[in-house]
């Protein structure tokens, strides 16, 4: 279906009308729409993007890494990362999320000084382009805030130049009681400027100053940044902290209608500029609010499945899948053109807000206490009535699963692999943090040196030492990588693991967590069943209602079902992917 530039212009004007309905713009909406079209270099094309077209399949697996997660003497880290990707992951991974690779002042990259350049300590745009030529590249659009050391903020203080009117301010006397915060630091930062004392809004930290999207020049600047990233090979945009984008004093300042409409606008601009580029919204918020960012297949292409990490960890340390199963049954299937982005470990930690309303307060307390006993740290947030609540558990996933609520045990690695076998089989696109693929443990030295809780899960490997570990069969790093690659390579060959393939939750009690996947063309079924306890558990094949005329085999162990009346004993933390259609090398 063809479209005209005028059609796109009208669509953009519709978005702008919804965003700026209560804002007096310095120019007409039509002029602003024309400016955005020109920045994105959108012109008449032959095909109109379809909101219900899947830009992904079962082959898509995303590796998540900092640009300098692996370092080598006398070599820029982005080159080292590229070498590492090609040496160990190329057959399993087709997409890479490089966490913010721009000049920054804090928060390991999420306080951006300059959006238009690559951090010289990591490499340059040529290194980014080289990686994007071999892998689908995902990059962060840190859109809610920037660094207080940015040129924009310097101009804000000076009262002139680009950025002098880019930042959101409020007054200490304003009613800010309903503002939702992910941090305990003061919301407003007192700043002396050439125009007097200003109180700058800081959702996250006083080095991360919030931008004011009521000013259309801020919008135009970020559209220019998006165009630059597309030109450098970025195909997947991660909208960082997008839920906090629009602020109205006297409200919660989270998930406001203008924020959702801004996502719709940016999607329109991105998909008309590059039809196979996609948006993933990073919204570490309660589950129901998170789902809203799908819109009607017209907002985010993908949303982070933030409730999965705390629920899955809770399941595996308690040996009870009740909460995970209840949540799974409540999750709507993603429409074509949208998909869940599944992950269980990230550069931050295991968020607890997405577990609110899903886990009881007592369960959350048990989870927090267990992670602390495993060496983890807890980050806190301000809640209602001056309460302080746990916001995030900072710990590597490998150490988080070293035991149960009763303490560490001998099943740590099996429990860790089970978590990934479950995650890789779920509806959605899997994202794997590099330190999970490498079986990295807590970095207490980095935690001590930085005094930042999240540093515990941001280890920086020496390339030669890592290679030595990966070539040593008895090391946990070698064993984890080998087992993880085995799972990924099986997953990629199964049509029933397409991110939008049918999924139903199975009722197998509290100790066996199970679900059924069916390929879009209905030719393949896979029953995924995991023993979430530290004891052997029997599974009756009759409980799965397998079709007797088919031959069934577990893709992971390659063990066959000999008789439909059989019982299958699952070892502690064993997961099976039972299929009627074998497609495995």
Residue 32's H or E segment, with its range, is helix 29-40
Q: Can you tell me the distance from the alpha carbon of 258 to that of 218, in angstroms, rounded to the nearest whole number?
A: 14
Is the residue at 527 inside a domain? yes
**Residue-number span of the structural domain to which 541 is assigned:** 502-579
Question: Do the Cβ atoms of 237 and 269 come closer than 8 Å?
Answer: no
Is the residue at 12 inside a domain? no
Q: Can you tell me the distance from the alpha carbon of 262 to that of 245, in angstroms, rounded to the nearest whole number?
A: 9
Question: Into how many domains does the chain fold?
Answer: 1
Q: What is the pLDDT of residues 3-26, one digit of tens each?
A: 688 889 999 999 999 999 999 999
Higher pLDDT, 585 or 324: 324
Confidence (pLDDT) at 3 = 67
Q: Can you tell me the distance from the alpha carbon of 583 to that of 576, in angstroms, rounded to the nearest whole number?
A: 15
Is the residue at 93 inside a domain? no
Is the residue at 328 inside a domain? no
Q: What are phi and psi of 404, to 5 degrees?
A: -120, -170
CATH of the domain at 563: 2.60.40.1180
Asked whether the predicted pLDDT for residue 30 surpasses 70, the reply is yes
Q: Can you tell me the distance from the alpha carbon of 316 to that of 311, in angstroms, rounded to the nearest whole number?
A: 9
Residues in a beta bridge with 408: 403
Is the residue at 516 inside a domain? yes
Query: What confidence tier does 565 reach under pLDDT thresholds 50, 70, 90?
Result: low
Question: Do the Cβ atoms of 203 and 183 come closer than 8 Å?
Answer: yes
Confidence (pLDDT) at 1 = 47
Question: Do the Cβ atoms of 198 and 169 come closer than 8 Å?
Answer: yes
Is the residue at 129 inside a domain? no
Indicate the annotated binding residues for substrate.
107, 145, 238-240, 347-348, 454
Is the residue at 64 inside a domain? no
Query: What confidence tier does 572 reach under pLDDT thresholds 50, 70, 90?
Result: very high
Confidence (pLDDT) at 387 = 81
Residue from 140, 240, 320, 543 carrying the catalytic annotation: 240
Indicate the annotated binding residues.
107, 145, 238-240, 347-348, 454
Q: What is the pLDDT of residues 335-389, one digit of tens each?
A: 999 999 999 999 988 999 889 899 999 999 999 999 999 999 999 887 776 788 8
Task: Order the strands of the 350-351 sheet from edge to edge.
Answer: 350-351, 388-394, 377-382
Q: What is the pLDDT of residues 47-74, one digit of tens each?
A: 678 888 999 999 999 999 999 999 999 9
Q: Is 554 a catalytic residue?
A: no
Is the residue at 294 inside a domain? no
């Amino acid at each position: 279906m063809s479209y005209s530039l005028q059609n796109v212009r009208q669509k953009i004007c519709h978005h702008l009308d919804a965003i700026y309905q209560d804002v007096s713009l310095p120019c007409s909406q039509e002029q602003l729409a024309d400016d955005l079209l020109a920045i994105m270099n959108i012109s008449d094309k032959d095909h109109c993007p379809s909101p219900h077209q899947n830009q992904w399949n079962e082959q898509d697996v995303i590796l998540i890494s900092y640009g300098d997660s692996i370092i080598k003497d006398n070599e820029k880290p982005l080159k080292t990362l590229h070498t590492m990707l090609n040496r160990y992951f190329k057959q399993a991974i087709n997409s890479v999320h490089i966490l913010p690779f721009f000049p920054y002042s804090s928060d390991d990259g999420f306080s951006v000084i300059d959006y238009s350049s690559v951090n010289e300590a990591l490499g340059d745009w040529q290194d980014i382009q080289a990686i994007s030529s071999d892998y689908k590249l995902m990059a962060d659009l840190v859109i809610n805030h920037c660094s207080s050391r940015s040129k924009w903020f310097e101009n804000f203080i000076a009262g002139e130049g680009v950025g002098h009117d880019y930042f959101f301010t409020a007054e200490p006397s304003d009613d800010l009681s309903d503002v939702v915060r992910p941090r305990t630091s003061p919301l407003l930062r007192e700043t002396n400027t050439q125009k007097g004392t200003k109180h700058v809004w800081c959702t996250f930290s006083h080095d991360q100053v919030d931008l004011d999207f009521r000013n259309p020049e801020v919008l135009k600047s970020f559209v220019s940044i998006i165009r630059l990233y597309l030109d450098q090979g970025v195909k997947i945009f991660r909208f960082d902290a997008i839920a906090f984008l629009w602020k109205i004093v006297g409200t919660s300042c989270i998930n406001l209608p203008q924020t959702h409409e801004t996502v719709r606008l940016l999607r329109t601009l991105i998909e008309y500029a590059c039809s196979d580029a996609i948006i993933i919204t990073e919204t570490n918020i309660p589950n129901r609010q998170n789902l809203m960012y799908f819109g009607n297949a017209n907002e985010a292409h993908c949303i982070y499945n933030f409730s999965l990490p705390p629920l899955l960890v809770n399941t595996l340390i308690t040996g009870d899948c009740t909460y995970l199963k209840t949540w799974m049954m409540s999750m709507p299937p993603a429409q074509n053109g949208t998909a869940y982005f599944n992950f269980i470990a990230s550069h931050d930690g295991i968020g607890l807000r997405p577990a609110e309303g899903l886990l009881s307060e007592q369960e959350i307390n048990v989870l927090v206490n267990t992670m602390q006993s495993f060496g983890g740290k807890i980050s806190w947030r301000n809640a209602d009535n001056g309460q302080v609540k746990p916001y995030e558990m900072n710990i590597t996933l490998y150490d988080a699963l070293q035991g149960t609520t009763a303490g560490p045990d001998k099943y740590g690695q099996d429990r860790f692999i089970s978590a990934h076998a479950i995650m890789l089989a779920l509806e959605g696109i899997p994202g794997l943090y590099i330190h999970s693929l490498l079986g990295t443990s807590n970095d207490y030295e980095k935690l001590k040196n930085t005094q930042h809780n999240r540093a515990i899960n941001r280890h920086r490997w020496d390339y030669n030492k890592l290679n030595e570990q990966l070539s040593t069969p008895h090391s946990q790093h070698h064993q984890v990588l080998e087992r993880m690659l085995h799972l990924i390579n099986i997953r990629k060959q199964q049509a029933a693991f397409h991110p939008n393939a049918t999924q139903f939750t199975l009722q197998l009690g509290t100790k066996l967590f199970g679900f059924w996947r069916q390929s879009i063309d209905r030719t393949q079924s896979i029953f995924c069943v995991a023993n979430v306890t530290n004891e052997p558990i029997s599974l009756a094949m009759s409980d799965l209602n397998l079709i007797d005329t088919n031959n069934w085999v577990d893709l992971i162990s390659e063990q066959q079902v000999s008789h439909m009346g059989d019982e299958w004993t699952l070892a502690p933390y064993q997961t099976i992917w039972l299929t009627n259609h074998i497609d495995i090398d």
